[in-house]
Chains A and B, each alone.
Chain A
């Protein structure tokens, strides 16, 4: 008897989205699996790039799976760059001329750093931070420089600041917003973190934008000019103003794109047997007139990969990212968020905020006004249990209830100072004040 020929699953991109898809397919099926990727032979953790530069880890330490894992799980790795997808003949072509046929194709090509057409943005010494190659260029450009400028107050910008500071390179950080990250964080948290950044010795220029980048006589970057007309001398400029889906390879194919590769909630493109997931995917709004979603996080890429793995094995379950969560670290401050905490809450939302006088610990609990059902948490310098917060939000617990049960959500290491009592005290006082003003 002949064994049934297994279909061939080809995945472009070995980022977390691509490899998670592969792993979840392998758990459920004997399909042949090939991952093609250009950046590195083996999957590594993009989130750990900063630690390589700072010397906390070597590149090999950032590989989430040891090299034998792929062979053992019969996942073939092809190190190469896909230049063409031929959906008629169901094959992909690589830069080196190889042609690989597929039965099912997954596009998981990730993102590319944004550039907004600034004069001088392509000068040597000006770059973003996304790929391993970016890290190599950073290694080339940053030794012996006297000053660096980073543009863009997001999560990668602050990581880049920390990286450069670890090598004693003074950093000027241009942030468009009034306070760092206040497009995502409410004012109090944004201020707390801005202050922390200053404490770390960063020259933080709030409400400041980049105007242009000036070349020196050697053709490399010499200075930047800000929106305040100031010229700041520097030998390196980090552009960290967000990312956009990397869909180069999909252009000139019948696969529909908008900003990203358009997919439905089953991560299917308009072409049969072609799927997309991770940073490069743009998920169509379910309801007409709704907004399409592009999710550019490690977590969402992983969850999409898992969902797609199931879908490819015949489970008809839509991708559902569940209750929102994210986390980051701003120098020494850990930040976790669960559910929905708006920087500018609407009329039906409000929140309770507590901050320790040391300004290194803070907690915000957002709720919907009428019934005071908790909808989100922001924790800074305090670790909260993901599953507990998620459950509370899902169950629609009231603020009263959550404040009382707060110790259940604590995930700090043993012996850490606990703040629940202080939080509860402040909460009781604020309730009291509300009650009094109601009486008055």
Chain B
């Protein structure tokens, strides 16, 4: 944005401008310099990250850690924070469909390829990242008391990405408290529950447990092996962990979803959702709104849910009968699930394809957790998005910016409440609506539809 200086102010405007107290207006101007330096640092950091892949890091891991993670973070933050001074608070969706990065242009494809390659290497060729692992090794030793592995590297990338892009959300939605609090929440759960606490547990020689995940997203938390192993841990913490996991699955899920809808988890706590809402936010408008996608979504997500239920049941039958009934079959199931769903779907496609298919592909088409929460939300919940009388102008912003591909407008223009299994309650539809038509609400179940 560019502030136009009227020099000199014509006489006939003096009175009116004085009336409006124009001289007290905050000034906004392009901070091209700061942004360029920021981008420069980001570029140098990324370049060093590439160089680090080829060696050098074992000598001075801390130095390299700061040069890569440090420079990219500082650069990214400079670029993001500069925007505070550039224009007043408000919706910032300009050029989303004309800019290469966010409109499936060359830049978007490039990022998509980089993300996808990252996941493929991470899952199947982690040794390629050996030097990066070296680089985060001192961090790992500090936090966990153990050497780093590729999962720790991944967690570190993940957490950094969410924190930096979370700040971007803060800047972008500084006028919207729902977004600010929600973003702070996902950042908190990622940093605390999915990064620091598991590391600390390990430091204390306890099982590395993620208190913010549970079955069926963290499917093996209810697999017999994990349960038995945790129960056998000395000190009772393991028993608590099993209890905690089961409690989240069987008690918290129905109860919290009844009161708040699935958003209590999907857009406030979950790490996958958290990454989608921060790192993935620039691509939310790319989710498909077609009827076909909706059909694929319903078929796929409930199939995955069925898959994990059958797998879990088979494992328990197997363990109860000591392998006499199913033989190796249940293990094969579990391995297949881990490969196809855990790795390919949630990682490679789920995140790798952010810039091509939108930021919630996994949550929408694959996540069994979302499937369960969705069924509850649709049939046993106080949550709904209400529409404000006849104020809708059918503009389409709500549908376009729905990351779950819900055609929100279809309901809004008919003055109907929106109650969809897939809605994660991110609240962006209500934020982008130029006529104040949508509101996320919890209310009496009667008359919700």
A384-425 interface (Cβ within 8 A of B): 385-387, 390, 411-417
Within 8 A of A (CB), among B53-109: 87-91, 93-99, 103
Q: Are A51 and B391 touching (Cβ within 8 A)?
A: no
- The contact size tier of chain A is 35 or more
**B89 / chain A contacts, CB cutoff of 8 Å:** 332
Q: Mark B375-412, 1 if CB is under 8 A from A, else 0.
A: 00000000000001111011111011000000101000
Interface pick from B10-18, B116-124, B305-313 = B10-18
Give the contacting residue for A55; candidates B22, B93, B396, B407; CB below 8 A: B93
- A170 within 8 A of partner (CB): yes
Residues of A within 8 A of B176 (CB): 413, 416
Closest CB in chain B relative to A236 CB, distance in Å: 15
Please give me the residue from chain B that is nearest to A228 by CB atom: B12
What is the chain A residue whose CB lies nearest that of B21? Answer: A195
List residues of chain B with CB within 8 A of the CB of A191: 19-20
Interface status of B443 (Cβ within 8 A of chain A): no
Residues in B with CB closer than 8 Å to A68 are 291
Instruction: Please state if A416 and B177 are interface contacts (CB–CB under 8 Å).
Output: yes
Residues of the A chain whose Cβ atoms lie less than 8 Å from the Cβ of B391: 299, 325, 327, 336, 386
Main secondary structure of the interface of B (DSSP, over half): loop
Instruction: Tell whether, in the assembled complex, residue B4 and residue A195 are in contact, meaning their CB atoms are under 8 Å apart.
Output: no
Which one, A119-127, A203-211, A240-248, A252-260, is touching chain B? Answer: A203-211
Range, interface on chain B: 35 or more
- The distance in angstroms between the C-alpha atoms of A375 and B123, with both chains bound, is 65
Q: Which of B404-441 contact A (CB under 8 A)?
A: 407, 409, 413, 427, 430-432, 434-436, 439-441
CA distance A207 to B10 in the complex (A): 12
Residues of chain B within 8 A (CB-CB) of A55 are 93-99, 103
A414–B438 CA distance with the chains assembled, in angstroms: 11
B228 within 8 Å of A (CB atoms): no
Answer whether residue A431 sits at the interface, using C-beta atoms and an 8 A cutoff. no
Task: Report Cα–Cα, A201/B26, bound state, in Å.
Answer: 11
Report if A334-B393 is in contact (Cβ < 8 Å); known contacts: A165-B1, A199-B26.
no
A385 and B389 form a contact (CB under 8 A): yes
| CB-nearest residue of chain A to B4 | A203
Please name the residue on chain B nearest to A54 by beta carbon.
B94
A198–B9 alpha-carbon span in the complex (Å): 13
Docked Cα-Cα span, A428 to B250, in Å, equals: 51
Contact code string A316-328 (vs B, CB < 8 Å = 1, else 0):
0000000001010
- B178 close to chain A: CB less than 8 A: yes
Residue pair A170, B4 in contact (C-beta under 8 Å):
yes
Residues on A with beta carbons closer than 8 Å to the beta carbon of B435: 327, 329, 334, 336
Query: Which of A58-66, A272-280, A348-356 is the contact stretch?
Result: A58-66
User: Are A199 and B25 closer than 8 Å at their CB atoms?
Assistant: yes
- Complex Cα–Cα for A327 and B395 (A): 13
Does B175 belong to the interface (CB within 8 Å)? yes
Q: A198 touching B25 by the CB < 8 A rule?
A: yes
Known contacts A48-B395, A415-B181; is-contact A201 B28 (Cβ 8 Å): yes
Report Cα–Cα, A334/B439, bound state, in Å: 15
CB-CB under 8 A from B177, the residues of chain A are 413-417
Distance between A245 CB and nearest chain B CB, rounded to angstroms = 20
Question: 1/0 per position for A137-173, CB-CB distance to B under 8 A?
Answer: 0000000000000000000000000000110101110
Is the C-beta of B205 less than 8 angstroms from some C-beta in chain A? no
**Residues of chain B with a CB closer than 8 A to A61's CB:** 396, 399-400
Q: Which residues of B contact A198 (CB under 8 A)?
A: 17, 20, 22, 25
Instruction: Tell me which residues across on chain A come within 8 A of B3, comparing CB atoms.
Output: 201
Check B90 against A57 for contact (C-beta < 8 Å). Answer: no
A325 to B435, CA, bound (A): 12
B1 with A411: CB separation less than 8 A = no
> B11-46 toward A: CB 8 Å interface, digit per residue (1/0)?
011001101111001101000000000000000000
In residues 282-321 of chain A, which contact B (Cβ within 8 Å)?
Answer: 298-299, 302-303
Give the distance in Å from the alpha carbon of A57 to the alpha carbon of B402 in the complex: 12
Shortest CB-to-CB span from B293 to chain A, Å, is 12
Per-position 1/0 for B210-222, Cβ under 8 A of A: 0000000000000
**Contact A200–B436 (Cβ < 8 Å):** no
- What distance in Å separates the Cβ of B291 from its nearest Cβ neighbour in chain A? 7
Within the complex, the shortest CB–CB distance from A211 to chain B, in Å, comes to 14
Is A45 touching B28 in the complex (CB atoms < 8 A)?
no
Enumerate chain B residues within 8 angstroms of A207, measured Cβ to Cβ.
12-13, 16
Contacting B at CB under 8 A, from A1-27, are 16
Complexed CA–CA distance, A57 and B394 (Å):
13
Q: Which residues of B contact A329 (CB under 8 A)?
A: 434-435
Chain B, residue nearest A191 (CB)? B20
Contact A64 B290, beta carbon cutoff 8 Å: no
A303 to B415, alpha carbons, bound, how many Å? 13
Q: Are B395 and A62 in contact (CB under 8 A)?
A: yes
In the bound assembly, the distance between CA atoms of A61 and B97 in angstroms comes to: 11
Sorted nearest first, the 5 A-B pairs with minimum C-beta distance are: A386-B389, A332-B90, A383-B436, A48-B395, A55-B95
Given contacts A56-B96, A168-B1, A416-B177, 6 further A-B contacts (CB under 8 A): A48-B396, A168-B2, A199-B28, A200-B88, A299-B391, A413-B440
10 examples of A-B residue contacts, CB within 8 angstroms? A47-B395, A55-B95, A199-B25, A200-B1, A207-B16, A302-B390, A325-B389, A385-B389, A411-B388, A413-B427
